[in-house]
Structure 1
Amino acid sequence: MFTGIVETIGTITSLVSHDDSASGGKGTSLTISNCADILTDAHLGDSISINGTCLTVTEFDKAQFKVGVSPETLRRTNLGSLKEGSNVNLERAVSASTRMGGHFVQGHVDTIATVAKTTPDGNAITFRLQPRDKSVLRYIVEKGYVTLDGASLTVTAVQDGPDGWWEVMLIAYTQERVVMGGKKQGDDVNVEVDMVGKYVEKSVQGYFEEKTSGEVGVLEKMVGKIVEEKLKNTGK
């Protein structure tokens, strides 16, 4: 579990591909440097969010650490496009003493979004993003949370539909502290929507889809009752 508050920006210093017969493809080992601040209490097997993707520390020293990335993760995130010298957002998993400055983030990427447009606004920048998987738009609400490359950001505008998008605004302070600040039109971003929306959706679906002894579902009963009351009130 993470908060979406980026602790530091690290740099990819090595990418080594290797066969991964178990998953039927090639995986990659990443070495991330310039991140001594988050390694003071590191242990093998710890979880660290790299651009919003929860990965496991397999090696580390005082200044750098290594993780393995499976072929599935490379396909579903923007980690597959990283190169030596790429910067990445880093955050350690939460501890009992962690302050929740962002929101609950799992480190499970839902989809990739593309930066469709950037618009300067004073010293801030508005980013418009279009998701690869349009179904995530139902979880994106104005003034709600969305995690972009592991950074918890506030949605400022949403447009649903086949060409749907949403926007976030980064102030100057944030631009300097997350990789999103350097994104340009056409760049890809890892997206994790707010998990609360997913749980609410599943709970509501389960409630309305409930059936007992072959009777009409709860939702159908409610609709029928509303229609019946309407007809009574109109005298028809």
Structure 2
Amino acid sequence: MFTGLIETIGTIENYDDSKDGVVITITDCSPILEDVHLGDSISTNGVCLTVIEFDEQRTKFKVGVAPETLRKTNLGNLTTTSNVNLERAVTSDVRLGGHVVQGHVDTIATIVDKKPDGEAISYTFELRDKEFINYIVHKGFIAIDGTSLTITSVDDSKAQFSIMLISYSQSKVILAQKKIGDTVNIEVDLTGKLIEKQIESNLRQQMNNEESQLNKLISSIVERKVKELMK
């Protein structure tokens, strides 16, 4: 689990692509490797990846990326010298300054607009997989390349949403380096998924129970409509 507060920006030193997946070497990240262990989780552009190797000087580490992860995310677009957001998994004494981020990317989005707004930058994104717009709400949380941000507007019909990147954050995350047409990894807020699951489960149980309040209500409405038609 992560907070969405990026600890440092790393650099891709090597990108080893094979039929079985990808092994990425990330360097320039000493601040997060002081206490690293093999098997630790590090969010890389919002993707929870496992450390499989690191150097003795603790300046760089390697992670493996499975084919399924490449399909869901934009990690396949990374090249040598690409910058990536990095955050270690939370510990029991970490303040949750962002929101609960799993590191399980749902889809990617394309930047369709970028413009200054005072000292901030306003971004608008369009989702590749349109159905995830159902979990994005005004003033709700979202993780963009692993960064916890607040939604400023939503256009359900276009599967688009906007955020504001304040001046302080512009030097702390890679989003400020991106331009219109670039893609980002998106993880929607888990809360919306949980609520949807509970509602669907509850409705299914009620529909399967003839004596449920929902079925009684539906029967009552149908009976009333039939009587109205027969008058």
Going from structure 1 to structure 2, the CA distance change for 1:101 and 1:225 (only over 3 Å counts) comes to farther
| Secondary structure of 1:210 counterpart | helix
Once the two structures are superposed, what CA deviation does each residue of 1:16-75 show, in whole Å capped at 9, x if it has no partner?
11232xxxxxx1110000100000000000000000000000001210000011111112
1:18 paired with 2:14, answer no
* Deviation per residue, 1:180-216 (Å, 9 max, x gap): 1111100000000000110011001111111477516
Counterpart for residue 137 of structure 2: 141
Partner of 1:167: 162
Counterpart CA distance in 1 for 2:47 and 2:221 is: 46
1:99 CA drift (Å): 0.8
- Residue by residue over 1:71-102, the C-alpha shift from the partner in whole angstroms, topping out at 9 and shown as x without a partner, is 11112101000010000000001111111001
Unaligned runs of 5+ in 2: 225-230
Q: Is the 8 A contact 1:134 1:164 kept in 2?
A: yes
CA separation of 1:33 and 1:196: change in aligned 2, threshold 3 A: same
Counterpart residue number, 1:41: 35
**Residue 232 of structure 1 aligns with which residue?**
none
Q: Which amino acid aligns with 1:13?
A: E
Q: What is the rounded CA distance, in whole Å, between the counterparts of 1:224 and 1:170 in structure 2? A: 51
Number of the residue aligned with 2:196: 201
Residue 195 of structure 2 aligns to which amino acid in structure 1?
Answer: V
One of 87, 90, 95 as aligned partner of 1:94: 90
Separation in structure 1 between the aligned mates of residue 178 and residue 126 of structure 2, nearest angstrom: 14
The one-letter amino acid paired with 1:88 is V
- Asked if 2 retains the 8 angstrom alpha-carbon contact of 1:45 and 1:58, the reply is yes
Say whether the 8 Å CA contact 1:2–1:105 is kept in structure 2. yes
Is the contact between residue 210 and residue 216 of structure 2 (CA under 8 Å) also seen in structure 1? Answer: no
Q: Let me know the Cα RMSD of the aligned residues.
A: 2.1
Distance 1:208 1:66, change over 3 A: same
Paired with 1:210 and 1:66, the residues of 2 have a C-alpha distance of 47
Q: What does 1:85-234 align with in structure 2 at a 5 Å threshold?
A: 85-161=81-157, 163-211=158-206, 215=210, 218-223=213-218
**TM-score, structure 1 as length reference:** 0.89
SS of structure 2 residue aligned to 1:181: helix
Question: 2:23 maps to which residue?
Answer: 29
Contact 2:12–2:80 (8 Å) recurs in 1 = yes
| Residue identity opposite 2:86 in structure 1 | L
Distance in 2, matches of 1:35 and 1:167, equals 30
Identity, in percent, stands at: 53
* CA distance in structure 1 between the partners assigned to 2:177 and 2:213 by the alignment: 50
Q: Which residue number in structure 2 is paired with residue 57 of structure 1?
A: 51
Change over 3 Å in CA distance of 1:221–1:184 after alignment to 2: farther
Q: Which amino acid aligns with 1:17?
A: D
Extract unaligned runs of 5+ from structure 1: 21-26, 230-235
SS at match of 2:150: strand
1:5 aligns to what?
A: 5
Aligned amino acid, residue 162 of structure 2: E
Aligned equivalents of 1:228 and 1:103: distance in 2?
Answer: 48
Distance 1:227 1:120 in 2: 55
Partners of 1:33 and 1:186 in 2: CA distance: 26
